[in-house]
Structure 1
Amino acid sequence: MVRRLIILLLALALFSVACGGGDDEVIDSGDLVVVDEPDDELESDAAASETTTSTTVTVPAGPPTTRGPAPVVVVEPLTGLGSITVFSGEPVYRGVLGQIDPDRNIVSPAALPPDVPAAGISPLTGLPIDPLTADRPAMVVKIDNTEKGRPQEALALADVVFVEQIEGGFTRLVVVFHSNTPAVIGPIRSGRSSDIGIFGSFNNPIFVWSGANRVQGAIIRRQDFVDLGAGTRTEFYRADDRPGTYDLMADPAVLWGIAEANEDGGIPPAHFEFQNDEVALPNTAIPVDHADISYPSVTSSWTWDGAARGWRRAQSGTEHVDAKGNPVIAANVLVAEVEQVWTGSVDAIGTRVYEGKFVGSGVGYVFVDGHMIEVTWTKPSIHSVATWTTADGIPVALRPGQTWIELAPIGGLTAG
């Protein structure tokens, strides 16, 4: 009898194993991601949620990283987006970023997002940070980058700086402050729907801007951020020593104080992998000492400075310096080739206003320690942090310090 009972128990155990695990079953990198095919018509949030019961297809999960397999998420590729009327009598909005839910994954992640940094380490630079400032929101500021707007204030104190293309093929800076509190920031300029793909990953940041045209402003204000722009606040002033339009300035300490008093904003998540004793450059890194990013009307140039352990910036052949005369030197330069989508708007002289689609994935390049690494940038959703991975799916580790990100035209990079 005992022998029969033992045999029965063994049989049941083998059957249980064959049938698979329970709720705690581990998913490995070979599992599949479910991809819902959305309707061709622009959907509301409610309608989009209903598509999860429709016919599905599957795609492989992203490659493994040094910290485990990429997350498995539901992916809704972009299809059927057209145009939307924001205001009667105004141009329709034809862009992408303002038409999708900010948490909608349009591609599968390529890697896990960066780890939460250790206490006392900045999530944006990898450098030590004052504990009193670590818990405050990031401040994302629109800064002019034309000849009349340069030199800009406080660029050396920024954690991250994005370069985005605007109308006419010129560029504007989207400057992210978190670790430091400059005395003044500016010249502050207007927003574009391109900004949605930039500030979306900083977890409800403070957004400082001079305003926007009616349609662009409405599209931007639908997003998650603390609006401390000139259109909502009076804590801005005009600098007497700067030309009109390029003279709007602010004291960021005052703006952070407003957010703190209102208990607004969230702590930014880690945005990059940083080097340590266990992480070296990948074997695909190529030694280079110069890179040019060609926009339609200007060129961003970066030259490796071994003594400074960073990349010196020039714009259209002129060295880029800040308002104190200090050269702009970045520890890291990232280049993301992004599609430019016409938004449906034009500026005052009839030039089309385009949107840089910094969501999804594309060709990218990382410049660090005198080397260039070709990567894939992947930003599954507007709220996602972008990852920068090599062909084998490993995120590239950056040097701790300031990082510039050029949202470049496709094919706009030359390096050597």
Structure 2
Amino acid sequence: MHTSGIKRPVAASLAALTLVITAACAGSGGGGATPSPDGSVTPTTSAARADVLAVKIDNVAPARPPTGLENADLVYVEQVEAGLSRILAAYSSDVPSVIGPVRSARETDLELLRQFDKPTLAYSGAQSRLLPSIEAAPLDPLPPSKAPNAYFRSPDRAAPHNLYLRPEKIPHDSTDVNAAEDIGLRFAAAPAGGTPVDERTVAYPSARFTFTWSADSGRWLIGMDGSPARTASGERLGTANVLLQNVDVHPSRFRDRGGNTTPFTETVGSGSARVLRDGTAYDVSWERDTAASATEFTTNDGKPMTFADGQIWIVFVPK
């Protein structure tokens, strides 16, 4: 995203100049140096952080297939008005040239994105009563009104399912950091135990997601509303991991234009979840103490759950 340099007065002595250079390096996120009590300088390194671009993506039938969804590090699925669903995709390690269709933000997104360090949220708009909350949230809101050159309407679809984002116009580039790892999720060998499973389905009142294990491709193939989900290039949409997180969902104070109440998904708290990886299901627990903390997923023996290399879909399942 946008970076700014650190300007400091140039000292006359070589020692002062050294401190200036090392302080500037530390401020820019690279290797730096820390003065010791005796005046010596000890080299230090700073861990890279994800630069997260979160995009609200439309996934009703007229909006399919999505563009760029297969490149996301994390894909969140949440229930919205009238029992439908909406996707929030988080990008950092691999940001595609086009993402969409882009749709409107929800209150749930604001609390969910607190796990990341000031992410950018790309969305088509929001209910007027929610706008003050978006502006006050610790994120960089990016509707078309703030970056008109980064969005375009495709002539291949009818509005409102035809709004797309060009991340390079923000600008927002790929990083070497996976957004999942940035919030503490670990990619490693599978834990012991688990139960072999071929398929799992999550149903909302007006939406359904099916995840079917494909040993040939080593992925969970995704179905939406009973039909195979595909990418914009026609390939089957699949993921290495599926996390079915049991949550409380209750009515919020917001409504859509049709008068339907907007659900709010509680992502702070604790509960049970099921992780699908490598054709196996694992029962885990989840806990998130505050909105500013990341969600922890642990196995029955209290160890952090590990995930297979690749994308993670987190589907919020109403209790």
TM-score, normalised relative to structure 1? 0.61
Partner of 1:216: 130
Paired residue type of 1:206? T
CA distance in 2, matches of 1:163, 1:267: 15
Paired residue type of 1:377? W
CA distance in 2, matches of 1:203, 1:319: 34
Partner of 2:287: 378
Partner of 2:220: 311
1:281 maps to which of 177, 187, 191: 191
Partner of 2:159: 244
CA distance in 1, matches of 2:63, 2:262: 20
Paired residue type of 2:161? Y
Paired residue type of 1:163? V
CA distance in 1, matches of 2:109, 2:199: 28
SS at match of 2:168: helix
Partner of 2:62: 148
Taking a change above 3 Å as real, the CA distance of residues 227 and 164 of structure 1, as seen in their structure-2 partners, is same
Q: Indicate conservation of the 8 Å contact 1:359/1:379, yes or no.
A: yes
Paired residue type of 1:281? P
Partner of 1:393: 302
CA distance in 2, matches of 1:352, 1:267: 31
Larger radius of gyration: 1
CA distance in 2, matches of 1:209, 1:152: 15
CA distance in 1, matches of 2:218, 2:164: 31
SS at match of 2:300: coil
SS at match of 2:133: helix
SS at match of 2:112: helix
SS at match of 1:148: helix
Matched, 1:181 2:95: yes
Partner of 2:247: 338
Taking a change above 3 Å as real, the CA distance of residues 381 and 256 of structure 1, as seen in their structure-2 partners, is farther
1:236-274 per-residue CA deviation (whole Å, 9 max, x = no partner) reads: 11111111111111111122359xxxxxxx998243121
CA distance in 2, matches of 1:305, 1:241: 32
**1:146, distance to aligned residue in structure 2 (A):** 0.3
CA distance in 2, matches of 1:354, 1:135: 32
**1:392, distance to aligned residue in structure 2 (A):** 2.4
Matched, 1:193 2:107: yes
Matched, 1:169 2:83: yes
Matched, 1:271 2:180: no
Paired residue type of 2:121? F
1:352-373 per-residue CA deviation (whole Å, 9 max, x = no partner) reads: 1111111111121100111111
% identical equivalent positions: 30
CA distance in 2, matches of 1:189, 1:402: 22
CA distance in 2, matches of 1:152, 1:338: 26
Aligned residues: 267
**1:315, distance to aligned residue in structure 2 (A):** 0.9
RMSD: 2.0
TM-score, normalised relative to structure 2? 0.79
Paired residue type of 2:166? D
The structure in which a higher percent of residues are strand is: 2
